[in-house]
Chains A and B, each alone.
Chain A
Amino acid sequence: MKAKKALSRFLRWETMLIVLLVVLWLVFDAKDASLQAARIAKGRRATDIFNFTNMLNGMGPYLLYSFMALGMSLILGMGDIDISVGAIAALSASVMGTVYGPFKKAMSPGLALALALLCCVMTGAACGFLNGFLVTRFRELFPMIITLGTQLFYRGFCYLLLGGDTLQYKDDAAWAGLKKLYSGSVSIGGLSVPTMLIWFLLLALMFFVFLHLTTGGRRLFAIGTNRVTARYSGIRVDSFELCMFVICGVTAALSSMFYVGSVSATVRADAMTGYEMYAIAVAVLGGFSTGGGKGNIVGVVLSVIIFGVMKKGLGTVFGLPDSTVNLAVGLVLIASSVLPNLLEDLSNWRRVRRQHAEAKLS
């Protein structure tokens, strides 16, 4: 009974996300339509800025933090948090940019780039390992404080590598190939779909299978529900948690690869500041509570789309400045964590009232 209820609540959260998406879409579409009507009234040509094709094409920039959000979902599912993902991404990119130059002198550009990409992923994994190691060895301090500390350290490392310089690879042929691989688009059924979306959906599918169909996912949610019980039930909590932090670090490195490859082809020490916030916000809106033990990757994919639509809509359709969009992100983060609790309070209150009524009858 209760399990079914939990299941239905689960479905309800995802349904709510779909409803939210539809509402946002309709609002932006209506605003867009009225804008065009105004343009036509002024005798200018209508330019439809908010529609499905546009949204799909322009999804790229909103997908950067989505890779991190997948990794963050694992961490949140265990009841931990990782504030350092933005800094990990910056450090991975810095390492990649720094090693590429010397590599290129020694070998062919393609091989050099492949090795640089490998270094990038390894850096992410190493940072994740350090986080996981400290988190599991220093339980007194909580993941929050530890990753807040390692974040400073990783960011400092970036400055040590790059100083205040900006590495640019705009004219490099190998990087152009990378850019094509990451930020190009493929035509599927007449629609041009960004390759990054396909990469993301593939990765999301892998995470979905891992979290919801395998024993690993069961272990992860067991740890998030009650770490002590999980350990007494024969789960090696420490090493499992460590692995998840490594995976989270790798997703941060993947984000940085796409960031460098697709968006700018430049590497700076202060790149991707604040991405951790987006990653956490996307995962929380997707249904992963910071308390741990619950969440669904489907929700995360939906919430990635919602964030994309929201940013695009607020930015281009309503023409609001970037800070307003950040404001909205902060509000969504807080609201999406308050809302389930308030709903639960409400249902409890109604339940007690119903019991009262029953008690009075009898």
Chain B
Amino acid sequence: MAAPILEMKHITKIFPGVKALDGVSFDLRAGEIHAIVGENGAGKSTFIKVLTGVHQPDGGEIILDGKPLVMANPNIAIQHGIAAIYQHAASYPDMSVAENIFIGHEFRTGPFISWVKARKEAQKLLDSIGANFSPNASVGALSVAQQQMVEIAKALSQNARILIMDEPTAALSKKESEELYSIARSLRDKGVAIILISHRFEDIFGLADRCTVFRDAHYIGTWDIDEVDESLLVHHMVGHVIEHYYPERTPHPGDEVLRVEKLSRTGYFRDVSFSLRAGEIVGLTGLVGAGRTEVVEALCGVTGFDSGKVIVEGREQKYKDPKDSMAGGIGLLPEDRQKQGLLLPWSISKNITLPIIDKCTRARLFMSGKAEKTISNKEKEQLAIKAPDVETAAGTLSGGNQQKVVIAKQLAASSRIIILDEPTKGVDIGSKAAIYELMAELAAQGVAILMISSEMPEVMNMSDRIYVMSEGHVTKEFTDVKNLTQQQILEAAMPQERTA
């Protein structure tokens, strides 16, 4: 067994009010792919940032090639051959591909950067990973998957010895993921050590040699990949066994409450049609960037659409503002709960009552704290939001509880149609189960639910029907969900399928 090239011992990192890492240890050997798994908030991202010098640890040491190293800033990490591909494409949208790839280690003649050489080398790198766009293209004009390719090329251009991949396949199609796998494998065979962070078990079992689990800022353990299976990993990640993950339910679809016909918005989606019945849970899936969010934002009046029809409860509507769609009984749970769903510094109670402030008043004008408290306490109880009281600031809650607060907003507004955009993204497994339970309950009460999700198991287990989108079009509708395979959905979601 080769000696580890990187050891991290008892790393501790403290942020005001939170311990993000508590004595975490980790080791990495040359020529291995080492997966780190854990739930959101387990400390994976902070750990990576400590390793790349973005954060300085409050305790513990980093040992590289047997020598202790003080990672005072990101440049030291770069000099030692540590490169990272970050989860949220960390690119510069206003710059060209070549500029993005070589930023920070440009080719220079004298003090000046040589852009000719940069462009040539960028082309070579792009060819080597099978990317088909020009190094002169502006990164902002590329798709999410292409931006991820730019990130990969950027990491490769640094000739890294240690490569960190943080959720690299989240935005990639299966084919692109395969390409990424083969790049990762060939790098490993050349002796590069790779740290892989992913919540996709396919990635972990298809690629990794070893696997380390973090939970609640603690180190749980490291295993060879043959020693563990999926259920064991989940057990380690969550810390307890979860039964009845998806609730049992028998759907009783009622009348059609929402019908979308040939909805188009130039540049985003075209001819999108689907329908939704009361008491039904419908899944809308596809790859990130397929246009799912854009469709629901258009129909709810956040952006608007160019042509097509939206028919709500039998009447054609063209909402100009989310306020209108809310009045029409549609609740939208936006994709990014921190930026679109919540006012983080505000209390749970003020967040929940924001859509219905007109109802929490005396004489229809003055805010009534009492009415607010009654409503929000009721919602807090119903959704089992874990917080000392409703005066707790939303920003201090965990991801799962934050999501429950956003859902509570829709419920308080007593919506008859609820659109959930990635309802379990970044939510711990316990809260996930609670959210599924709630969805089932609402559907049983006759609420129509449209769920946008990229997580295949969730889509397949929760939906009564499934629509698949790809590149701005609805490519397929599945009505027989019971006998569906993941492969069928993925095929419909692949961009290539449409042209071939």
Q: How far apart are B303's CB and chain A's nearest CB, in angstroms?
A: 11
Report B-chain residues with C-beta under 8 Å of the C-beta of A213.
366-367
What are the interface flags for A330-346 relative to B under an 8 Å C-beta threshold, 1 for contact and 0 otherwise? 00000000000000000
B357 with A219: CB separation less than 8 A: yes
Q: How far apart are B11's CB and chain A's nearest CB, in angstroms?
A: 13
Q: How far apart are A142's CB and chain B's nearest CB, in angstroms?
A: 17
Q: How far apart are B374's CB and chain A's nearest CB, in angstroms?
A: 17
A2 with B16: CB separation less than 8 A: no
Report B-chain residues with C-beta under 8 Å of the C-beta of A4.
391
Q: How far apart are B108's CB and chain A's nearest CB, in angstroms?
A: 35
- Stretch of A110-118, A146-154, A159-167, A349-357 lying at the B interface: A349-357
Q: How far apart are B143's CB and chain A's nearest CB, in angstroms?
A: 23
Partner of A1, one of B19, B59, B366, B388: B388
- Residue A12, interface by CB 8 Å: no
Report B-chain residues with C-beta under 8 Å of the C-beta of A3.
347, 391-393
A356 with B365: CB separation less than 8 A: no
Report B-chain residues with C-beta under 8 Å of the C-beta of A217.
367
- Residue B206, interface by CB 8 Å: no
What are the interface flags for A183-196 relative to B under an 8 Å C-beta threshold, 1 for contact and 0 otherwise? 00000000000000
A225 with B340: CB separation less than 8 A: no
In chain B, positions 177-210 with a C-beta closer than 8 Å to chain A are: none
Grouping DSSP codes into helix (H, G, I), strand (E, B) and loop, the A interface class, with mixed when no group exceeds half, is helix
Given known A1-B388, A225-B345, contact A359–B14 (CB-CB < 8 A): yes
B393 with A352: CB separation less than 8 A: no
B16 with A225: CB separation less than 8 A: no
Q: How far apart are B273's CB and chain A's nearest CB, in angstroms?
A: 25
Report B-chain residues with C-beta under 8 Å of the C-beta of A355.
14, 17, 19
Alpha-carbon separation in the docked complex, A231 to B300 (Å): 11
- Residue B361, interface by CB 8 Å: yes
Report B-chain residues with C-beta under 8 Å of the C-beta of A228.
339-340
Partner of B12, one of A233, A235, A351, A359: A359
A-B contact count, CB below 8 Å? 94
A215 with B367: CB separation less than 8 A: yes
B322 with A229: CB separation less than 8 A: no
- Residue A308, interface by CB 8 Å: no
B345 with A229: CB separation less than 8 A: no
A351 with B355: CB separation less than 8 A: no
- Residue A106, interface by CB 8 Å: no
Q: How far apart are B155's CB and chain A's nearest CB, in angstroms?
A: 32
- Residue B112, interface by CB 8 Å: no
Report B-chain residues with C-beta under 8 Å of the C-beta of A108.
none
Report A-chain residues with C-beta under 8 Å of the C-beta of B409.
233
Given known A6-B393, A215-B358, contact A234–B323 (CB-CB < 8 A): yes
Grouping DSSP codes into helix (H, G, I), strand (E, B) and loop, the B interface class, with mixed when no group exceeds half, is mixed
Report B-chain residues with C-beta under 8 Å of the C-beta of A215.
357-358, 361, 365, 367
**Chain B residue at minimal CB-CB distance from A223:** B343
Alpha-carbon separation in the docked complex, A231 to B302 (Å): 8
- Residue A264, interface by CB 8 Å: no
- Residue B211, interface by CB 8 Å: no
- Residue B332, interface by CB 8 Å: yes
In chain B, positions 371-410 with a C-beta closer than 8 Å to chain A are: 388, 391-393, 395-396, 409
Report A-chain residues with C-beta under 8 Å of the C-beta of B346.
222, 225
A2 with B393: CB separation less than 8 A: yes
- Residue B234, interface by CB 8 Å: no
Q: How far apart are A193's CB and chain B's nearest CB, in angstroms?
A: 29
A235 with B323: CB separation less than 8 A: yes
Alpha-carbon separation in the docked complex, A219 to B350 (Å): 11
B392 with A2: CB separation less than 8 A: yes
Q: How far apart are A108's CB and chain B's nearest CB, in angstroms?
A: 39
**Chain B residue at minimal CB-CB distance from A218:** B357
**Chain A residue at minimal CB-CB distance from B387:** A1
In chain A, positions 167-184 with a C-beta closer than 8 Å to chain B are: none
In chain B, positions 55-83 with a C-beta closer than 8 Å to chain A are: 58-59
Report B-chain residues with C-beta under 8 Å of the C-beta of A233.
322, 354-355, 409
Report A-chain residues with C-beta under 8 Å of the C-beta of B347.
2-3
B343 with A236: CB separation less than 8 A: no
Q: How far apart are A214's CB and chain B's nearest CB, in angstroms?
A: 5
Q: How far apart are A235's CB and chain B's nearest CB, in angstroms?
A: 7
In chain A, positions 202-221 with a C-beta closer than 8 Å to chain B are: 213-215, 217-219
Q: How far apart are B59's CB and chain A's nearest CB, in angstroms?
A: 7
Report A-chain residues with C-beta under 8 Å of the C-beta of B341.
229, 232
A222 with B354: CB separation less than 8 A: yes
Partner of B366, one of A214, A230, A235: A214
Report B-chain residues with C-beta under 8 Å of the C-beta of A232.
302, 322, 332, 334, 340-341
Q: How far apart are A329's CB and chain B's nearest CB, in angstroms?
A: 30
Given known A234-B323, A234-B413, A359-B12, contact A222–B334 (CB-CB < 8 A): no
Alpha-carbon separation in the docked complex, A6 to B350 (Å): 14
Alpha-carbon separation in the docked complex, A298 to B192 (Å): 62
B343 with A226: CB separation less than 8 A: yes
Alpha-carbon separation in the docked complex, A215 to B393 (Å): 20
- Residue B321, interface by CB 8 Å: yes
**Chain B residue at minimal CB-CB distance from A239:** B321
- Residue A86, interface by CB 8 Å: no
* Chain A CB within 10 A, most for which of B367, B392, B395, B396: B367
- Residue A293, interface by CB 8 Å: yes
- Residue A34, interface by CB 8 Å: no
Partner of B345, one of A1, A6, A219, A231: A6
Given known A3-B391, A231-B321, A233-B409, contact A226–B14 (CB-CB < 8 A): no
- Residue B326, interface by CB 8 Å: yes
Report A-chain residues with C-beta under 8 Å of the C-beta of B326.
234
Alpha-carbon separation in the docked complex, A359 to B346 (Å): 30
What are the interface flags for A241-279 relative to B under an 8 Å C-beta threshold, 1 for contact and 0 otherwise? 000000000000000000000000000000000000000
In chain B, positions 324-374 with a C-beta closer than 8 Å to chain A are: 326-327, 332, 334, 339-347, 350, 354-355, 357-358, 361, 365-367
Given known A229-B341, A359-B12, A359-B19, contact A234–B392 (CB-CB < 8 A): no
Chain B interface residues (CB < 8 Å from chain A): 12, 14-17, 19, 58-59, 302, 321-323, 326-327, 332, 334, 339-347, 350, 354-355, 357-358, 361, 365-367, 388, 391-393, 395-396, 409, 413
Chain A interface residues (CB < 8 Å from chain B): 1-4, 6, 213-215, 217-219, 222, 225-226, 228-236, 293, 348, 351-352, 355-356, 359
15 sampled A-B residue pairs with Cβ under 8 A: A2-B391, A3-B347, A213-B367, A214-B366, A215-B358, A229-B340, A229-B341, A229-B343, A230-B343, A230-B354, A231-B322, A232-B340, A234-B322, A234-B323, A234-B355
